[in-house]
Amino acid sequence: MIRLVVSLRNQILSQSSQVMQNLYLLVFCPSFLFNKQGGYLSLLEHARRFKEVEGIIINSFEELETHAFKSLMECSISTPPIYPVGPLVSLKGQKILQIDKAENNEILGWLDQQPPSSVVFLCFGSLGSFDEPQLSEIACGPERSEFRFLWSVRKAPAKGEFEAPREYTNLDLEGILPDGFLERTKKKGRICGCAPQADALAHEAVGGFVSDCGWNSILESLWNGVPVATWPIYSEQQMNAFQMVKDLELGVELKLDYRMSKGKLVMADEIERAARCVMDGESEVRLRVRKRLKRLEKL
């Protein structure tokens, strides 16, 4: 959170009037910060107590967020030492409790059969899920783009329930997705439940990533040189997306300010456009990501 707030603040101050600064903060900061008696006070209390620690370890690195670390290290008030120890990523893939070894092997086996950089990977984290109208729009995006795709689809909890997303059956999906979608795309697409994200991003077949922009997802995509199309959902993800697109220029903007609670649909043509941009082999974003990957390899 420290890293993200400093990065966002610097970007805003460099290009905005006071009115625009307030607008940026309203749009891109986590919604819990606007709950004065809840998240806001909690964040202030945590921020005050940061000064009491002996040091702060951050899963990032100076070559990625140079100005953020410079701001922290040159702060006029006394701050603890800052230790950027990243990128900490799982090179062998993270063990996922919801996915068994056989399903994991099937997904990776399917990727083995695809040409290099030909698959757009859509995955929205361990808690990412959408309602049925949004799933229908998502389905149309990669189908219209005509790219191969690997799509992690999770079933949203019942309204008002706080629980992890569940898995759909094929019968469920047939009733939710556009008529004939599964049959039309069976040769070029694969739908799964919980996906082995780290392994998929490391696979040579994956050329683009539509992501919720959790920080682990961003580091894994950069480590593997896979461009990201941003679709933040909750927590600090809007700030991460803003940082990737506007600050670092290492991401393609699908959405920056999406909040599931607002109930607004992201339409198929927006998803198609983002898929085409993120899969463009010679796009400026891809070239920047490749350049950043070369720097990572030298660390």
Report yes or no on 44 lying in a domain.
yes
How far from each other are the two terminal CA atoms of the chain, in whole angstroms? 24
Phi/psi of residue 240, nearest 5 degrees: -60, -45
pTM of the model: 0.86
| In the block, residue with structure tokens 């690195």 | 61
Report yes or no on 287 lying in a domain.
yes
Helix/strand/coil (H/E/C) assignment for every residue in 127-174: CCCECHHHHHHHHHHHHHHCCEEEEECCECCCCCCCCCCECCCHHHHH
Report yes or no on 50 lying in a domain.
yes
Residues 131 and 74 in one domain: no
204 HSE (CA, 13 A, CB side):
5
Residues 236 and 175 in one domain: yes
**Euclidean distance between CA atoms 284 and 186, whole angstroms:** 32
Report yes or no on 96 lying in a domain.
no
Residues 203 and 283 in one domain: yes
Name which of 4, 1, 3 is nearest 242 in CA terms.
4
Q: How many domains does the chain have?
A: 2
pLDDT for res 63: 86
Residue type, 30: P
pLDDT for res 8: 47
Residues 57 and 105 in one domain: no
The residue ranges of DSSP E strands in the chain, in sequence order, are 56-58, 82-84, 119-123, 148-152, 189-192, 206-211, 228-230, 251-253
Give every CB contact of residue 118 below 8 A, 6+ residues apart in sequence. 147, 148, 205, 207
Residue 291: CATH number of its domain? 3.40.50.2000
Count of beta carbons in the 10 Å neighbourhood of residue 40: 14
pLDDT for res 258: 79
Residues 75 and 138 in one domain: no
pLDDT for res 90: 79
Instruction: Tell me the angle at which helices 2-15 and 18-28 cross, rounded to the nearest 10 degrees.
Output: 150
Tens of pLDDT, residue by residue, the chain (299 residues):
455 444 444 554 444 455 545 555 556 676 666 666 667 788 788 888 888 999 999 999 988 888 888 888 887 777 888 899 999 987 765 555 556 788 889 999 999 999 999 999 999 988 888 989 999 999 999 999 999 999 999 987 777 667 778 888 888 899 999 999 999 999 999 999 989 999 999 999 999 999 999 999 999 999 999 999 999 988 889 989 999 999 899 999 999 887 766 678 999 999 999 999 999 988 899 999 988 888 777 76
Report yes or no on 199 lying in a domain.
yes
Give every CB contact of residue 61 below 8 A, 6+ residues apart in sequence. 84, 86, 87, 299
DSSP secondary structure letter of residue 245: I
pLDDT for res 12: 45
Phi/psi of residue 150, nearest 5 degrees: -120, 120
Residues 157 and 294 in one domain: yes
Domain that holds residue 291: 101-298
pLDDT for res 204: 97
pLDDT for res 260: 67
pLDDT for res 149: 98
pLDDT for res 45: 84
Residues 143 and 268 in one domain: yes
Residues 69 and 213 in one domain: no
